[in-house]
Amino acid sequence: MSHAAQPPKTAPVQIPASAMMIRVMGVVSLVCGLLIVITYQGTLQPIRRNQETILRESVAQLLPGVQKQIIYQVQPDGSVRILDDVQASVPKLFAGYNSSGALLGIVIETSERGYADVIKAMYVYSPEKQAIVDFKVIELKETPGLGDKITSDRDFLANFRNLEAKLDAAREKLLHAIVTVKHGTKKNPWEVDAISGATISSRAVGRMLDKSARQALPVIARNLGRIQRGE
């Protein structure tokens, strides 16, 4: 930086005692720490509320007619329990119920590296149809005009009106992996037809659904009774 220590003409350079420097930095750190703690405490509730509102709004958009939402967290042993803190970074299942209390579908969050950055999305799994019945990108930084078509291209989004996601007989893994295929070559109900010109982003969508369904669907199958009853 600009000011190199300029030795005074007479006395040698006065270096303050280390204790002095430590004291000053300690006091400044203490004040800074206090300021951060106060802000953290003050913003904790609004932040939690905001995130919960956003999640619930996204779920409501994906499940039209939803009256009640229950957020489950998936525990390490594969069981589920009702979540108390939305901020916790655990795998979550958002179950939506209609006015008569019947399960409409389960919304699941997923993410995968796209072309520019990680794409975050949510999809709806219908245990009744054993299929993915809706898909919505929550966050993306893909190239405008190309990769971001995964949020708007009608033909592409039609893939997710009934994308097969069946489990095998043991209900442990997917019967068919969900894959993205080249534009115009979709033959099977578990394939995602890519957008031409946005192959990387389309593939990322296929991968994120496959990865997430592989993990979440067996959990849902094991706990379906509880989720349907809303316990």
Partner 1 sequence: MHHAHGLVEPSPSESMESFLNGLWKQNPVFVQVLGMCPTLAITNSVRNALAMGLATLFVLVCSNALVALVRKLVPRQVRIATYILIIATFVTIVDYMIKAISVPVYKALGAFIALIVVNCIILGRAEAFASKNPVGKSILDGLGMGIGFFFALLCLGGVREILGAGAFLGYPLFGPNYQPWVLFLLPPGGFFTLAAWLLVFTSWQARKKRRQAPAEVQS
Binding site for partner 1 (CB under 8 A): 1, 3, 5, 15-16, 20-21, 24-25, 28-29, 32-33, 35-36, 39-40, 43, 46-47, 50-51, 54, 139, 143-145
The H or E element that residue 113 is part of is: strand 103-113
Q: Helix, strand, or coil here: 191?
A: strand
Q: Shortest distance, CB of residue 93 to partner 1, whole angstroms?
A: 21
Least Cβ distance, residue 125 to partner 1 (angstroms)? 25
- Smallest separation, CB 198 to partner 1 (Å): 14
Percentages of the chain per state (helix, strand, coil), in multiples of 5: 40, 25, 40
Shortest Å, Cβ 15 to partner 1: 7
Nearer to partner 1, 39 or 75 (CB): 39
| Minimum distance, C-beta of residue 30 to partner 1, in the bound complex (Å) | 11
Looking at beta carbons only, is 49 or 68 nearer to partner 1? Answer: 49
Nearest to partner 1 of 58, 215 (CB atom): 58
Tokens coding 138: 């929550």
Token pair, residue 139, equals: 């966050």
Tell me whether residue 31 or residue 102 sits nearer to partner 1 (CB atom). 31
Tell me phi and psi for residue 32, to 5 degrees: -65, -45
The dihedral of CA 165, 59, 70, 47: what is its sign? positive
Structure tokens that stand for 92 in this block = 């979550």
Closer Cβ to partner 1, 27 or 90, answer by number? 27
158 backbone dihedrals φ, ψ, rounded to 5° = -65, -25
